[in-house]
Amino acid sequence: MSKIKEDQLNKIKEQQETTAKILNEIGFLESQKHQYLHNLADLNKEINDFKAELEVEYGSVTINLEDGSISEVAEEKETADVQ
Name the residue with higher pLDDT: 23 or 73. Answer: 23
Average pLDDT over residues 44-60: 96
Please check the confidence at residue 79 and state whether its pLDDT lies above 80. Answer: no
Residue type, 19: T
Nearest to 72 by CA among 49, 55, 48: 55
Cβ atoms of residues 53 and 44 within 8 Å: no
Query: Model-level pTM greater than 0.75?
Result: no
The conformation of residue 2, written as its DSSP 8-state character, comes to -
| 29: enclosing H helix or E strand | helix 6-58
pLDDT tens, residue by residue, 14-42? 999 999 999 999 999 999 999 999 999 99
Average pLDDT over residues 60-74: 93
CA–CA gap between residue 66 and residue 58 (Å, rounded): 18
